[in-house]
Amino acid sequence: MTTMTTAVPATARHVGPLTTLRQTMTLAWRSLVQVKHNPWELLDLSIQPIMFLLLFTYVFGGAISGSTGDYLQFALPGLLVQNALFYTLSTAIGLNTDITKGVFDRLRSLPIARTAPLSGRIIADTAKQVWAFALLVGFGMILGFRVETSVVGLLGALALLVVVALAMSWMSVLIGLKASSPEKVQMIAFSTMMPLTFTSSALVPSQTFPGWLEAWSDINPVTHLADAIRGLMIGGDVAQSAMISLLWAAGFAVVFAPLAIRAFRGRV
Amino acid sequence: MQHAIEAEGLVKRYGETRALDGVDLAVPQGRLLGVLGPNGAGKTTAVRILATLLRPDGGSAAVGGFDVAKDAHRVRSLIGLTGQYAAVDEMLTGVENLMMIGRLLGMSRPDSRRRAAELLERFDLSDAGGRAAKTYSGGMRRRLDLAASLVGRPQVLFLDEPTTGLDPRSRTELWSVVRGLMADGVTVLLTTQYLEEADQLADDIVVFDHGRVIASGTSDELKATTGAQVLEVRPLEAAHLDLVAQVVADVIGEAPDLTGGRATVSVHDPAAVPAVVRRLDDLGVVASELALRKSSLDEVFLAITGHRAEDEPSAEKEEALV
């Protein structure tokens, strides 16, 4: 039987970098084209922060900052951080859904670059991050939020959030590969991100916390990230908090990237 | 002669359990091998190894002459895989699902669109092609899944329990699709829990149990291995079933199986049948059904393994309901 072997030589043993890139973009397209059928998906994921934005601004705003307008200025950058952190776990949810539905196996049985399913998803999720950022800022501005720095500051805030989100996506990949179901991922996301953002300076000034909580809040990476984003959008000291945020991000990547890659290899 | 699929001494361990315990397989090109066995027999593990999704702990396997471990990428360019779950992206439309695969395989956009249309047509999904896959019925999803595994015109196709959970009509439809593929010369390895499915489709059958191949041959060869015919007696009155069982056990010398209101037993000597009839007549038991037939694969499986092929717990549940 020579027909089997003669049909094959055209196929290379491995995938070249250009082909890898093309496959990555195809898989990124796959995650993004869903938005076309379900444009509300992006809004779905932003509904919680928008709800928080409305609730916090109009219910607690006056009590916390004296006026709803002042509070909105303070809280919107924090809500952007909260939303970005929550959003990193959509990578985990998507990956885990692929695994439980068998799509992941289908992709792995194709002659494509091993990394493409992962990198394609992360690129798509980053694009969604940018969109969600724009959506929240836009909504905030309708309510009266004003960027007090400049467009550069605003873009800097976006860039910082994207970098941190990318670093966090390693953890997200690990969770996505290890969790038993997408619902579990959602639960993990909720029960870690919620306390983290609430015990930071993202939504309220931490000076009113009891001593022990304020001490924690000073360590909490979300505090530093929120301070940096706030500084970039409405002014204030940025350098230190941005630096600490980036260090945290690097730490996250250093710890979780090898673990995620190992888990991924185990699957491949 | 080179086989399209070859495996030698495949071993896969999960902790203490051996999912595969030395499996040999050989499928000549263009043939359909049916891998038959209950849940947990190791069928899916074997498919996953052959489809390069899992590395064996021992033994070796080759698809199209390429080693699945060392030359995985080349193996992937030859195969198509349809797993137990319809592996389609539910958020994408049928067309998009197929186009994605086409694009990943290096087709141009127009080519992948053409190929998608072709396959949707073939699988009777043209009308649904523009709808998100989450709106599809179970049978439609399976067909789309199978179509997705055919985008790259694979020479070797793995179908892992492709009809599990399908209604009888969808099942028959899928069978005719598989027959069509066979006509194209594709080599197929199909796993199933359904003996009828193996009987209908497979050129050759191997029977898996506890990670081992415990029997192999054509459907007829397997049926002949027990060397027996089967006697079935259904009493007109269900209450007489115990009586029937007693008579059959007396005459044949073996306790019959009592599923579905029938006493079923293997018979090696056809002369025993009249004796059963006479005894039942003496006792005044009227049989609504009394038949002597060639053993089915089901019984072959029972004879070889000592247990049924279908899920045992569900079989028990059925009995309890009857």
pLDDT tens string A126-166:
998 898 899 889 989 999 999 999 999 999 999 999 999 99
B212-217 and B187-192 as β-strands: parallel, antiparallel, unpaired?
Answer: unpaired
User: For residues B158 and B189, is the Cβ–Cβ distance under 8 A?
Assistant: yes
CB within 8 Å of A24: residues ≥ 6 apart? A113, A115, A116, A119, A120, A123
Judge whether residue A14 has pLDDT over 50.
yes
Q: Is B54 helix (H, G, I), strand (E, B) or coil?
A: coil
Among B44, B91, B101, pick the best mutation site for testing chain A contact (most A Cβ within 10 A). Answer: B91
Determine whether B195 is exposed, middle or buried from the number of CB atoms within 10 Å of its CB (0-12, 13-18, 19+): buried
DSSP state letter for B241: H
Residue A35: per-residue pLDDT:
78
What local confidence, expressed as pLDDT, does residue B16 receive? 85
C-alpha dist (Å) from residue A100 to A4, B44, B86, B88? 33, 15, 11, 11
- The pLDDT score that the predictor gives to residue B248 is 86
Query: Is residue B312 very low, low, confident or very high in pLDDT (cuts 50, 70, 90)?
Result: very low
Packing angle, helices A239-267 and A151-178, rounded to 10: 30
pLDDT for position B50? 95
pLDDT class of A255 with cuts at 50, 70, 90:
very high
**Residue B39 confidence (pLDDT):** 84
Residues B26 and B34 sit within 8 Å (Cβ to Cβ): no
Q: How confident is the model at residue B318 (pLDDT cuts 50, 70, 90)?
A: very low
Q: For B46-61, what is the mean pLDDT? A: 94
Range of lowest pLDDT (B67-76, B203-212, B244-253): B244-253
Phi/psi class of residue B39: alpha, beta or left (left: φ > 0; alpha: ψ in -120 to 50)?
beta
Percent residues over pLDDT 90 in chain B: 47
Instruction: Reply yes or no on whether the pLDDT at A2 is more than 80.
Output: no
State mean pLDDT over A9-34: 84
- State the amino acid at position B306 in one-letter form: G
Q: What is the mean pLDDT of residues A102-119?
A: 92
- What pLDDT does residue A45 have? 64
Taking the CA of residue B70 and the nearest CA in chain A, the distance in Å comes to 10
pLDDT of residue B316: 34
What's the maximum distance between 2 C-alpha atoms anywhere in chain B? 78
| Mean pLDDT confidence for B273-296 | 84
- The residue of chain B with its CA nearest to that of A23 is B104
Contacts of A5 in chain B (CB under 8 A): 2, 64-65
Closest chain A residue to B75 measured between Cα atoms?
A111
Split at pLDDT 50, 70, 90, the class of A44 is low
Q: Do B106 and A33 touch (CB under 8 A)?
A: no
Provide the pLDDT for residue A12.
67
Alpha-carbon separation of residue B60 from A163, B72, B188 (angstroms): 44, 12, 19
Predicted confidence (pLDDT) at residue B89 exceeds the cutoff of 70: yes
Please, what is the average pLDDT of chain B? Answer: 87
pLDDT of B266: 80
Answer whether B54 touches A (CB < 8 Å): no
Query: Helix, strand, or coil here: B207?
Result: strand
| CB of B141 closer than 8 Å to CB of B134 | no
Which residue in the block uniquely carries the two structure tokens 């984003």? A229
Size of interface A-B (CB pairs under 8 A): 103
Residue A65 binned pLDDT confidence (cut-offs 50, 70, 90):
confident
Distance CA B252, CA B249 (A): 5
Q: Which residues of A touch B109 (CB under 8 A)?
A: none
A180 touches chain B (CB under 8 A): no
How far apart CA B299 and CA B264 sit, in angstroms, is 10
What separation in angstroms does the CA of B264 have from each of A71, B82, B95, B250, B287?
80, 36, 49, 14, 13
Average pLDDT over residues B223-252: 83
Q: How high is the pLDDT of residue A267?
A: 66
Answer whether residue A48 shows pLDDT above 80: no
- Name the residue with higher pLDDT: A257 or A8: A257
Helical residues (DSSP H) of chain B, grouped into ranges: 43-50, 72-76, 94-104, 109-122, 138-150, 168-183, 195-201, 219-225, 241-252, 272-283, 297-305, 312-321
pLDDT at position A63 is 87
Per-residue pLDDT for B309 more than 70?
Answer: no
CA-based nearest distance A102→chain B, Å = 5
Q: Among A3, A14, A106, select the one facing B73 at the smallest CB separation.
A: A14
Complex-level ipTM: 0.83
Confidence category of residue B227, pLDDT binned at 50, 70, 90:
low
Between CA B306 and CA A76 the distance in angstroms is 68
Report how far residue A33's alpha carbon sits from residue A124's, in angstroms, rounded to the nearest whole number: 10
Helix, strand or coil, per DSSP, at residue B153: coil
Count of alpha carbons within 13 Å of B238, Cβ hemisphere only?
4
Residue A8 one-letter amino acid: V
Measure the CA–CA gap between B9 and B13, rounded to whole angstroms: 13
pLDDT at B228: 67
* Facing residue for B104 by CB, picked from A4, A23, A37: A23
Give percent of chain A with pLDDT exceeding 70: 92
Average pLDDT, chain A: 87
The residue of chain A nearest to residue B28, with distances taken between CA atoms, is A1
From chain A, pick out residues whose CB is under 8 angstroms from the CB of B89. 30, 34, 101, 103
* φ and ψ at residue B13, rounded to 5 degrees: -110, 140
